[in-house]
Amino acid sequence: MLQMSTKNRGSRHRIPRERRLAIDISLVARRVPSFPVLRRMDLQPIELWRQELKASGKRIGWTAILAYAYGSVCRELPELRDVYIARPFPYMYRHPEPVASITIHRPTSPETPYLGRLVWGRFVCSETANLQNYQDQLDAWNSMPVEQIYPDALRLERWPTPIRRLQWYLLMRWTGRKRAKHLGTFSISSLAHLGALNGYHPLVTTTSLAMGPVSPNDLTEIVLLCDHRVVDGVLAAKALEMLEKRLEEIPKSLARNSRFP
Confidence (pLDDT) at 188: 94
Residue 254 reports pLDDT greater than 60:
no
Digit-coded pLDDT (tens) for 52-110:
888 888 889 999 999 999 999 999 999 999 999 999 999 999 999 999 999 888 887 77
B/e letters for 191-228, b = 16+ CB within 10 Å, e = fewer, are bbeeeebbbebbbbbbbbbbbbbbeeeeebbbbbbbbe
Q: 71: how many CB neighbours lie within 10 A of its CB?
A: 24
Domains annotated on the chain, with CATH: 17-254 (3.30.559.10)
Q: How confident is the model at residue 6 (pLDDT cuts 50, 70, 90)?
A: low
Using DSSP's 3-state secondary structure scheme, residue 218 falls into coil
Q: How confident is the model at residue 253 (pLDDT cuts 50, 70, 90)?
A: low
Query: For residue 150, which phi and psi values (nearest 5 degrees)?
Result: -140, 65
Helices (H), 184-261: 233-256
Give how far the C-alpha of residue 219 lies from the chain's centroid of Cα atoms, to the nearest Å: 21
Burial (CB < 10 A; 0-12, 13-18, 19+), residue 259, is exposed
Confidence (pLDDT) at 158: 85
Give how far the C-alpha of residue 157 lies from the chain's centroid of Cα atoms, to the nearest Å: 20
Confidence (pLDDT) at 244: 96
Residue 155 reports pLDDT greater than 60:
yes
Burial (CB < 10 A; 0-12, 13-18, 19+), residue 156, is middle
Contact 257, 74 (CB under 8 A): no
Contact 18, 108 (CB under 8 A): yes
Mean pLDDT over 229-243 rounds to 97
Digit-coded pLDDT (tens) for 107-139:
877 777 778 788 888 899 998 888 999 999 999
* Cα–Cα distance for residue pair 259/243, rounded to 1 Å: 21
* Cα–Cα distance for residue pair 183/23, rounded to 1 Å: 15
Q: 134: how many CB neighbours lie within 10 A of its CB?
A: 25
Mean pLDDT over 211-235 rounds to 93
* Cα–Cα distance for residue pair 74/221, rounded to 1 Å: 20
* Cα–Cα distance for residue pair 224/109, rounded to 1 Å: 32
Confidence (pLDDT) at 53: 86
Provide CB contacts within 8 A for 59, sequence distance 6+. 53, 135
Confidence (pLDDT) at 261: 52
Selection from 32-41, 146-155, 163-172 with the highest mean pLDDT: 32-41
Please, what sign has the CA dihedral across residues 29, 35, 40, 41?
Answer: negative
Digit-coded pLDDT (tens) for 8-55:
788 888 888 888 888 888 999 999 999 999 999 999 989 999 898 888
Confidence (pLDDT) at 175: 87
Average predicted confidence (pLDDT) for the chain: 87
Residue 260 reports pLDDT greater than 80:
no
Q: How confident is the model at residue 258 (pLDDT cuts 50, 70, 90)?
A: very low
Paired sense of beta strands 91-94 and 186-188, if any: unpaired
